[in-house]
Amino acid sequence: MTSEPTTSLEANATRAIPTVELATVTPTHIPLPTATVTPRPPERYFIEEFDTVPSTWSTLYASGDSSRVEILNEDSKLTFEIYSPVTWMYAIYGAFEYEGVYIETRVESLGSEVNSMGLVCHYNEQDGWYEFNISNDGSYHMLHGQWLAEGIATYMPVLDDISNRIVTGNSVNEIGMGCYEDTVQLYINGELIRNLNVAHIGLTGGKVGLSLGSFEDVPVILSFDWVKVSEP
**Pick from 106, 108, 103: which is nearest to 130 by CA?**
103
Q: What is the mean pLDDT of residues 165-188?
A: 96
Rounded Cα–Cα distance for residues 98 and 109 (Å): 28
pLDDT, tens only, 177-229? 999 989 999 999 999 999 999 999 999 999 999 999 999 999 999 999 999 99
Q: How confident is the model at residue 149 (pLDDT cuts 50, 70, 90)?
A: low
pLDDT, tens only, 11-49? 333 344 443 333 334 455 555 655 455 556 889 999 999
Round the average pLDDT of the chain to a whole number and report it.
85
Contact between 218 and 65 under an 8 Å Cβ cutoff? The reply is no
Q: How confident is the model at residue 90 (pLDDT cuts 50, 70, 90)?
A: very high
Q: What percentage of the chain has pLDDT greater than the value 90?
A: 70
**Pick from 89, 53, 99, 79: which is nearest to 204 by CA?**
99
Domains of the chain: 28-37+45-230 (2.60.120.560)
Q: What is the mean pLDDT of residues 122-151?
A: 90
Q: What is the mean pLDDT of residues 119-144?
A: 95
